[in-house]
Structures are given as structure tokens and as C-alpha cells.
Structure 1
């Protein structure tokens, strides 16, 4: 079966499978664009990238914060880039501990069109999440939309409290207007928090990097890996992106258009993975129709965690293969 036929078959299989297909928004490359730079924003909207993050935080100087939020608000107030688009339109606000977060939220969440996703940096504890979610819910209580939330782990305290923070955010989102969808590993801020000296292989970050992806997957969240700040080092970027994908990360932060294709390819399931997952889901469906639970596939006893892994492969492939 060639790759194009396989893609068509995947669609038929998903429509017929007995496993429910949950909504999944690909964010293989999460690209930051300064909110005060209309030229860069305009260019970003023409790129083939999964997630465009209009930034109010680190990418914007202190004296440009108001300009950034107003520019983003103007974009959200127009229909341009709202319909017929294939990217996740996100906004990164300033952290709760800053003086800017409330103003960011008021500007962004009272726009004519809401962003798909809000990114909240530097989340350390449940009190910050409670304040943030209360603000969001109060601003969009009358609207029908549900916004995805992505939180950042960027400090020693944030790493320690990460499990409790995820659990708390999910509990609060059950009755609110925002849904926790993913987590970003903020490696550079974590280094500053701990006093880490970065090495070329990143070994000093291994514990935090693995803990974040482990807990993220425990809550069925996307995990966005650390940024590669040397944007000209494409070979190093490829190595780190492939390593992150092997560890279980679903995407990576990018800061330059040249990084996008390398990152998005690294987090796209291979033909071999897709064929494995397709066959496994088909076999599962056949056994379910016969009333059989456990079954053997290619010599291995299949359990639900394996089925979930296959479903994850198909979720990503199905939603990122429009350009195949």
C-alpha cells in the first residue's frame, strides 16, 4: 500500500473504528512571533506551521507591551486569518506575577474572535492558576467558545509542583471556559532558576525534561519541548527534535521560520509507525466485533496502553498529513 493510499485508508478506518477519536490540535512546531511586529506577524500567517503564537511576553520589550496587546487585539478583531486556516492561532500572555497579565487578558479575550489557545508562562503554583482561570472565565462567560490552555514549567518550584498544578487545572477546567491541552518545557528560564550551565548535549536538563513529558502524558496532555536558541544550527536542531520525539514530546518551540520544516518532520509519524498503528487498530476492531477483548498482534499481546499509543500516532498523522 503506497503512502497516499494509506492516508485514504486511515480516514476510512477512523470513521469505522470502535475507538472514539478525540479532538486533537497538532502543535509540532509552536512558533513565537513578537506581538508588536506586524511585519513578522503578517509573514507568519503565510507559513506552513502548526501553531502561531502571538507573543506578549519574552519576545516583547517592556515599553512595547501595550503595542503588542493592541496589535494582537486588532488581528483578532478582523476576520482575516480566522476562517480557512490550517494553524492553531495562539497568544502567549505575560505571567500572573507580572503587572501585564490582566491587561493582556482583557485585550485578547474581549476581541471579536477569540484565540484558539492561550499560553500562560511561569506557572509555579495552584494560586496562580486559580487567579488566571477566574479572570478568563469572567471575561468569556457569555461566549460559547472553549479555549485551550498551555502552561509553562520554567522554574525549580514549577517542576516540583507540576503534577499538582496539572491536576488542579484539569479539575478547574471541568466547569469553566478553558481546557488544559498541553505543557511547555521552558528550559532557559529553568536554567536561570537553578543556576545551570548549559552543555552541548543538554545532559543537565535530562531529569526535568523527562519528568515534564512523563507527567504530561499521565494527564493525556501535549508536551512541547525546549527551544533551540541557535536558530542557524539546523543540524543541532534536528538532533534535539528527533530526541524529543523519541522521549514522547509531541512538539517543539521554534523562533525562526527556517526551523519549522525540520521540527515538524521530526514530530510526524514515520510510514512504518503509521502502518503499524493502522494494522493494530484494524485488528482491534475485528476482535471487538467478535466479542474478544485481549488479542495478539504480530506476536505481541495487546493491551489498552498499546492501543492508546497507536491512537496517538493516528491522531497526529491524520491531522498533519494534508500536504502529503
Structure 2
């Protein structure tokens, strides 16, 4: 969930929410003449942060490297008393930007400090270079001070980049969404789906969440507290899915003992790929707990 970095009231409110990830924002959620205020407010919050005062992870979305503001953003939040869990880096289009980020974090972090990195893919050029970006991020993780953790699809900037018009069924971004999921999973990265900007339309949000989950996304960006429970419910396994997965794995074990490979379960032919899907359901539920 994004929280404007220059708004202390909203930051304090967000801390008390049952949200998986709070992103203190220096970028799109902050006016250009308030960037320094956001920096100072986030720094003060990090310096005063009490241990375990936040239920989920805490990140800072810095400005993109090409704005010239990213260096100051990183210097401020990574030299704080309590560094964030994650840095969210917008509008990455090339491996050179990752090199710059790696050098900057190396110079700021101390001792054995490391942070997670979430990369935003938001332009046509970024998608053309997506495989190289992911591979380079993972390789840099081996000897730099960040861990490549995930990709975020920035749908509105992407549509502006290619000149597309937004529609309710999202058909204009279907290829980009699926490519992001496919590439992220190839490099063992989380794939975070686009923002649903009609924050009062919770039913529309639910439909888009279900669509994203079917595509393979592991989470979704939100911009309002009311969206949080809808997204969590949509992406976590429900009771029926849990019962299906548990029953399938039990039946699989029984058939394996009797020397059978493929078998029928609830009217469907089951083999190893389906068994792995059931394992994914249970693993996600375990992680959520």
C-alpha cells in the first residue's frame, strides 16, 4: 500500500493497518515541490521507528534515477537509524540503472546491511529489456548489498509509453501483464500487479484481482486502506481451494504407494503438474500465516 511520504497523518494511520507491505512514497504520490518534505518526513519516521511497530514489511519508493532525485532519496533513507526492508525503484529500463543503484547502495549501507529491491517495469523499452534487467538484478544480488525480490507492473505509465487507452477489461495490457509474470517467475521473483485506480469500486477491484491471480501474479498494489482486505482475500487460498489441495495431495500419496502415476480426483485427471499446483496453494497459505 502506497502512503505519501510527506503526510505524517497518513503514515501513522497506515502503520496500524493489517497490510502486508507499506511503501512510503517519494515518487508519484508526492508533488514536485514537496519532495524534500517527503524525504525529511520519511527519515524522521525511520529514525523513530520502534521495533515491530509495523505488522508487515516497510519500503520506500524513491524517484526514478533519470529524475536526478534518486540519489538524495537513497542517501536520506539508507543512512537512517532504521533502514527500510525494501527499496522500490521506478521506471527501470536498462541494466546500467541497476549498476548505478548497486554502487549507490554499496556506498551507503554499512557492515552486513542488505535491502530488498523491487523493480518497476513501466515502459515499452523496459519490456524489451526485461530479461536482461531481471538476469542482471539477480546476478548483482550475489555480491552487492541488495536482494532482487520482485517486479511491479506500472500500467498507467506503460499505457502512456505505448499510446494505449485504458479499458475496464484491461485487454490493452494483457500481453505486458503476462510477460511480466512469465519473466519474473523465470528468475524466482515476485510479480506484483497493477493499481486499480477506482478505489471506491471494490467489486471492480475484486474482479481485477481474481484475473491477476489466475495469470500468476503474487500480489497487487493498492492506494487506499479499503482495498487491502479485498486484495488479501482474492490472492490468498480460500477454504475450498485448501480442501481441494489437501485432498489431492493425500490422494496422490496413496496412489504413489500403490505404484500408480496419473489418477482421477474429483472428476479430473491428476498428474505431477497438478500436484505441484496443489503444493503451491498450501505453501502460500503457510507463508500467509
What does residue range 60-71 of structure 1 map to in structure 2 within 5 Å?
A: 60-71=30-41
Q: 1:1-324 to 2 correspondence within 5 Å?
A: 31-80=1-50, 82-83=51-52, 85-142=54-111, 144-279=112-247, 295-296=261-262, 298=265, 300-302=270-272, 306-307=275-276, 309-321=277-289
Q: Tell me if structure 2 keeps the 8 A contact 1:54–1:91.
A: yes
Instruction: State whether residues 252 and 275 of structure 2, in contact with CA within 8 Å, keep that contact through their aligned partners in structure 1.
Output: no
- Bigger drift between 259-268 and 271-280 goes to 271-280
Q: CA deviation at 1:79?
A: 3.4
Cα deviation, 1:60-87, whole Å, max 9, x if unaligned, reads: 111111111111111111232x325421
What are the ranges of 5 or more consecutive residues in structure 2 without an aligned counterpart?
A: none
Partners of 1:277 and 1:301 lie apart in 2 by 13
Contact 1:141–1:177 under 8 Å retained in 2: no
Alignment deviations for residues 130-161 of structure 1 (CA, whole Å, 9 cap, x no partner): 1011111221142x333111100100001111
Measure, in 2, the Cα distance between the counterparts of 1:141 and 1:212: 33
Query: Which structure carries more relative contact order (alpha carbon 8 Å, separation 6+)?
Result: 1
The 3-state SS of whatever aligns with 1:254 is coil
Determine if contact 2:15/2:55 at 8 Å carries over to the other structure.
Answer: no
Q: 1:131 and 1:286 mapped to 2: Cα distance? A: 54
Gaps of 5+ in 1: 1-30
Separation in structure 2 between the aligned mates of residue 262 and residue 208 of structure 1, nearest angstrom: 24
Alpha-carbon distance in 1 for matches of 2:90, 2:84: 16
Alpha-carbon deviation of 1:285?
Answer: 7.9
CA displacement at 1:301 relative to structure 2: 2.5
Distance of 2:72 and 2:31 partners within structure 1: 16
TM (norm. structure 2) is 0.91
CA offsets 1:285-304 (integer angstroms, 9 cap, x no match): 8999x8x9x9556452215x
Deviation at 1:252, TM superposition (A): 0.8
Q: Secondary structure at the match of 1:104?
A: helix
Number of aligned residue pairs: 284
Conserved? CA contact 2:191–2:217, under 8 Å = yes
Task: Determine helix, strand or coil for the equivalent of 1:90.
Answer: strand
* Residues in 1 aligned to 2:130 and 2:44: alpha-carbon distance in whole angstroms: 34
1:120–1:149: 8 Å Cα contact kept in structure 2? yes
- Contact 2:26–2:38 (CA under 8 A) maintained in structure 1: yes
